[in-house]
Amino acid sequence: QQSEDIRVLGSSYGRDKWTNATPAILEKTGRDLLHHPSHPLAILKELIFKEFPTFAHYDNISPVVSTYQNFDSLGFSKDHPGRSVTDTYYINQDTLLRTHTSAHQLQLLAAGKKDDPELLALANNSSASPRNERFLVAADVYRRDEIDASHYPVFHQMEGVCTFSRAEIQKHIRNRNIAADTTSSTGESGSVAKLLDTTVIGDDNPVQPEHSEEEAAFLADHMKQMMNNMVVQILTKAVAAQKSTGDADAAGSQTEFPVRWIDAFFPFTSPSWEMEVLFQGEWLEICGCGVMKQAILDDAGMPDRVGWAFGFGLERLAMLLFGIPDIRLFWSSDPRFTGQFAPGQINTFKPFSRHPACTKDVSFWLPESGDFHENDLMDMVREIAGDLVEGVKLIDSFTHPKTGKASRCYRINYCSMDRNVTNEEINTIQEQVRQRIVSQLGVTLR
């Protein structure tokens, strides 16, 4: 069975010892949530696309990418932890499910340069930036992770890339007038965003040697302004939606959205930041961003251009906008969920009665080799129970003082988003979990 090819989205790939993508994960590659116009994630995607009218918009690039695209093309070191099989779903050593939309940066820039008509034709709005000098990519991304109300091994990201010729930047610097730039979206709400820049561009987050201080400063300012505009537009809509559904106490009537930029590190940007916005009393991490590594533009055949990039998760913002309390709901096909939303509209989710939950504990001794990765357990449980598993939590961990053996106890929380589950059904699942962790993870049940 291990030698059989693995099929993903209609294509076959050879297996090797890197292969760890489970059937439960592969099933998700076909769900295409971003193409259901009344799905909250698709609504948010469209809202963001609208904020960037001069960018090419991509939302239909396959999640199967090469290891080169996902890591090497972006300058990840050979031993970067993100490459590990415990974090990433591999189809085989050379092919994987993208872990982020940055996987498409080089390919899309190069497509514009080399005039790759097939790839360029995937854009929804081919005239906006015909050579991909500016583009957005919305897509499903895959990461091995723990399971709870805000973590799911598949989620969605929006990548933004904006490049300039060096001559263009000089012109902007002379004019000192970013607001006149055609890429800026016009604010319709009139609300003010405050920029609190807390970062220090220092030795460990430097301007790249290929860039002048001026160029880097222009790119950072331009990026921050555009991201700021977008976030303000969207959060203003969220507040308006909450007001109109009478949910105003949660919303207050926030009209200012302070933003802060925290130093961050990515192999493919420098300097880099994490953007956070103060929304309803909490600092929310919105996205990572920064000045693109010049090597990427050089490799794409455009050494005369410089650029910035951001990448952010759609789920977190969608949960806020629509008041969705659990990330698993995005995958629900219950009409009580899917029926609540309509294209172009932000409205607050009305919770429906939850089906009763059922918890089961499992305790075991770890294998003596010490070779146990929690994410293997997470994937196994998800593979067996599918979306019936709401969470898996470590509740006890100790080492026996005499034998030196290590013990773990995990609590698995089962609950369906869509229907009532019987105790019998859960017992059968739990029994499978118990058998599989013994046979596949080499643990000993207690």
Smallest distance from ligand PHE to CB 312, Å: 7
Count CB neighbours of 71 within 10 A.
Answer: 24
Candidate residues 65, 231, 309, 385; the one interacting with ligand PHE per rule CB under 6 A: 309
Which phi and psi angles does 129 have, rounded to 5°? Answer: -145, 80
Smallest distance from ligand PHE to CB 159, Å: 6
- How far is it, in rounded angstroms, from Cα 84 to Cα 100? 15
- Cβ proximity of 220 and 205 under 8 Å: no
Helix axes 40-51, 213-244, angle to 10 degrees: 130
100-129 binders of ligand PHE (CB under 6 A): 100, 102
Query: Which C-beta is closer to ligand PHE: that of 98 or that of 408?
Result: 98
Residues in the chain: 446
SS3 at position 97: strand
Query: Which C-beta is closer to ligand PHE: that of 88 or that of 416?
Result: 88
Among all residues, whose Cβ is closest to ligand PHE? Answer: 311
Residue by residue, DSSP assigns 107-168 as HHHHHHHHT-HHHHTTSSSTTSSTT-SEEEEEEEEE-----BTTB-SEEEEEEEEEEEEHHH
Closest CA to 375 of 429, 441, 442, 326: 441
Query: Which C-beta is closer to ligand PHE: that of 234 or that of 289?
Result: 289
Query: Which C-beta is closer to ligand PHE: that of 20 or that of 102?
Result: 102
* Position 89 contacts ligand PHE (CB under 6 A): no
Tell me the β-bridge partners of 290. 272, 309
Query: Which C-beta is closer to ligand PHE: that of 28 or that of 436?
Result: 28
Query: Which C-beta is closer to ligand PHE: that of 264 or that of 362?
Result: 264
- Cβ proximity of 219 and 306 under 8 Å: yes
Which phi and psi angles does 84 have, rounded to 5°? Answer: -65, 150
Tell me the β-bridge partners of 164. 306
Smallest distance from ligand PHE to CB 47, Å: 19
Query: Which C-beta is closer to ligand PHE: that of 311 or that of 391?
Result: 311
User: Which DSSP letter does residue 61 get?
Assistant: -
- Cβ proximity of 134 and 162 under 8 Å: yes
Smallest distance from ligand PHE to CB 268, Å: 6
Smallest distance from ligand PHE to CB 311, Å: 3
* Position 311 contacts ligand PHE (CB under 6 A): yes
Helix axes 423-441, 374-385, angle to 10 degrees: 140
* Position 307 contacts ligand PHE (CB under 6 A): no
* Position 153 contacts ligand PHE (CB under 6 A): no
Pairing of strands 56-58, 134-142: parallel
385-404 binders of ligand PHE (CB under 6 A): none
Smallest distance from ligand PHE to CB 280, Å: 24
Smallest distance from ligand PHE to CB 29, Å: 18
Per rule CB under 6 A, count of chain residues that contact ligand PHE? 11
242-301 binders of ligand PHE (CB under 6 A): 266, 269, 272, 288-290
Query: Which C-beta is closer to ligand PHE: that of 133 or that of 390?
Result: 133
Query: Which C-beta is closer to ligand PHE: that of 223 or that of 389?
Result: 223
Smallest distance from ligand PHE to CB 287, Å: 6
- Interface contacts to ligand PHE, rule CB under 6 A: 100, 102, 266, 269, 272, 288-290, 309-311
